[in-house]
Amino acid sequence: MQLRRFENKVALITGAGGGIGRATSLAFSREGASVVVVDFNAETAAETVRLIEAEGGTALQLTVDIGNEAQVKGMVEQTIAKFGKLDIAFNNAAVDVHSTLLTDTTEAIWDRVIDTNLKGTFFCLKHEIIAMTARGGGAIINTSSLAAITTAPGIPAYTASKHGVVGLTRASALESIKQGVRINAVCPGAVLTPLLESHLKIPGMKEHIEAQHPIGRWAQPEEIANVVMFLASDHASFIVGQPIIIDGGATIL
C-alpha cells in the first residue's frame, strides 16, 4: 500500500531535473506533497514536472541557479506566493568536475564547484530557514556525499565542498532546531544517475565502484529518496544535524 506521509505538505527540491532529485520529487509527490521542482536546466526540470503531473501530482517548476542569492531568495518567495508555505526542502543540486588532481585544479574549477555545492547550499539554507521559521518550522535535508567521509584522487574541490555541506548542516541545525527547523544531510555512495553514468565510461571505473561497495553494486536513486523522505518525516523527529551515510557498506571496509 502506498504511504501518504506528506499530504498537504509543500516540498522544494533542487537539482530536481537530475537523477536523485527527480526520483525524490516523484517519491514526495506519490506520498501527497506538492513539489517545487528547482533546477537551472529548464528542460530536464520540465520533464520531472511532466512525470509528476502524469501521475496526478502537483508541481511548480522554477528555473534557478542556486549559486545566485537573488534567484534563491526569489525561489523561496515564489514558493510562498504559490503554496503559502514551505514544509520540506531537499538541497540536492551540485556539480562534479572530475579528474583534476589538486595540483592541476584551476581557480575556475575550484570556484565553480564551491560556488554551486557549498555557497549554493548556504544560500538555500539561509532563505529556507527564514521562511520556515516565520511559519512555525520545517525539515531540511542537504545532499552531501561519501566524499565527505572518504575521498579519491582527482576530486579535491568536490571533496572539500561536500565536507563543507556536513559542516553547514551541523551549524545550521544547531541554530535552527529551537525554532522548529530540523536539518540533516544524506551522504550517498555511488548512485546510478546521469552524473555517475558519465564516470562509468572511464575504463575500470565500474569494477572500482563494485569493489568499493561491499554490497557489490551502486544504489538506485530511489534508495536515496527513501532516506530523504524518512528524514523529512515525523519518524525522524529526534534526528538533528546528522550526516546519514547511505553507501552499501563502503565505509566499513
Ligand X SMILES: NC(=O)c1ccc[n+]([C@@H]2O[C@H](COP(=O)([O-])OP(=O)(O)OC[C@H]3O[C@@H](n4cnc5c(N)ncnc54)[C@H](O)[C@@H]3O)[C@@H](O)[C@H]2O)c1
As annotated, the active-site residues are: 158
Q: 240 with 170: CB under 8 angstroms?
A: no
Which residues are CB-neighbours of 56 under 8 A, at least 6 positions away? none
Contacts of 44 (CB under 8 A, 6+ apart): 17, 18, 22
Report, in Å, the least distance between residue 194 CB and ligand X: 4
Q: Residue 176 or 212: which CB sits closer to ligand X?
A: 212
Q: List the interface residues with ligand X, window 110-139 (CB under 6 A).
A: 116, 120
Does position 188 interact with ligand X (CB under 6 A)? The reply is yes
Q: Hey, which bits of 86-155 come out as E strands?
A: 88-91, 138-143
Cβ proximity to ligand X: between 57 and 188 the closer is 188
Between 84 and 153, CB nearer to ligand X: 153
Phi, psi for residue 144 in degrees, rounded to 5:
-100, -135
* 196 part of the interface to ligand X, by CB under 6 A: yes
Report how far residue 143's alpha carbon sits from residue 129's, in angstroms, rounded to the nearest whole number.
Answer: 16
Integer Cα distance of 39 and 203 in angstroms? 30
243 counts as binding ligand X under rule CB under 6 A: no
Residue 21 in the binding site for ligand X (CB under 6 A): yes
Q: How many binding residues for ligand X (CB under 6 A)?
A: 32
| Residue 156 engages ligand X in binding (rule: CB under 6 A) | no
Binding-site member from 80, 95, 97, 177 for ligand X (CB under 6 A): 95
- Which residue, 95 or 239, is less far from ligand X as judged by CB? 95
52: CB partners within 8 A, 6+ apart: 25, 26, 29, 35, 37, 58, 59
Which residues bind to ligand X, rule: CB under 6 A?
A: 14-15, 17-21, 39-41, 44, 64-67, 92-96, 116, 120, 143, 145-146, 188, 190-191, 193-196
